[in-house]
Amino acid sequence: MISPKDRLNLLFAHSAYQLGPRFAARETGMGFAHAWTREDFLARLPEAEVVVASGFWENGFLDLAPKLRFIQSVSAGVDRFDAGLLKAKGVRLASAQGANARAVSDHAMALILALARRLPEARDNQAKHHFRGLISEIAAREEELAGKTLLIVGLGGIGGRLARLAKAFEMTVIGVRQNPSAGLNGADEVHGLDALPALLPRADIVVLTCPLTPATRGLIDAAALKRMKRSAQLVNCARGPCVDEEALIAALADGTISAAALDVFAEEPLAAASPLWDMPNVLITPHSAGETQRYEENVLDILMDNLDRLWRGETKLRNEIV
């Protein structure tokens, strides 16, 4: 399906990730190119058999890539790729699912802890050189996670690892996944997506680690937010469009829920005029949950596994989409 190692035309394409340099360090003996800009990517694309890319890709580029046989996505999400069109053109596609599972689950747990232990407030007080005294009002103090109920929407590699981290903090974990028969994956109980409305009132913290699909787009809307406890918190490490952002802003403003920690947004970068920036009950990180010093190596491990499968003539790819 693809050329042998010594003749393969391999193209990495990313403006930030050091995929080409890290691949070179592996000393595979294979030739490659790394396009750091979209213009360079388009110039090199007509000769490429294998492309390792994400943000640079547009489905219309297929007409410019007559030799293309395989795309290894740099990201776990592949909603920017038209799977049907790729299949029609005979181009295989695999995601980078799992490449940042540890990083995103670590980040989600960090956001949960930051809200519980009021770390944003502590950082603000540090900037003001203010040493806060003891708090008489019980509800205004920091919280403990033990005994709280965590609802994880998306119980795959990321959600499953988050479930195991949460259990170490003595939390009760409810998982929601597309196929509940796939197992608990660290949770105490697991349900299908259709059970979400009934589960939301039980949760102290709701975390989204699901992919963006037609079923999850707008999943947390005004109705869902109203079903949550007024003391509940929302953490989104999935995709921005999984949440109705306007409804969330309204819910945070009127106390429908108590707080949110958001790594992803409907449009990115988050507009400077967004009310979310200035809301005291919101913690924002800049879509950095998946960032890790190991990211390039993790993606390259998946790529090499898939190239080996293709060279062996296997039909099943790791993280296969098409």
Q: Are 18 and 295 in contact (CB under 8 A)?
A: no
E strands, the chain, are: 10-13, 32-35, 50-53, 70-73, 92-94, 149-153, 172-176, 189-191, 205-208, 233-236, 259-262, 282-284
291 is catalytic: no
One of 80, 102, 117, 287 is an active-site residue; which one?
Answer: 287
One of 268, 294, 314, 320 is an active-site residue; which one?
Answer: 268
Question: If residue 126 lies in a helix (H) or strand (E), which one and from where to where?
Answer: helix 119-127
One of 239, 296, 309, 318 is an active-site residue; which one?
Answer: 239
Residue (of 115, 150, 153) closest to 258 by Cα position: 115
239 is catalytic: yes
CA–CA gap between residue 186 and residue 191 (Å, rounded): 13
Task: Quote the tokens at residue 311.
Answer: 């060279």
Q: Is 177 helix (H, G, I), strand (E, B) or coil?
A: coil
189 is catalytic: no
CA–CA gap between residue 306 and residue 207 (Å, rounded): 31
Catalytic residues: 239, 268, 287
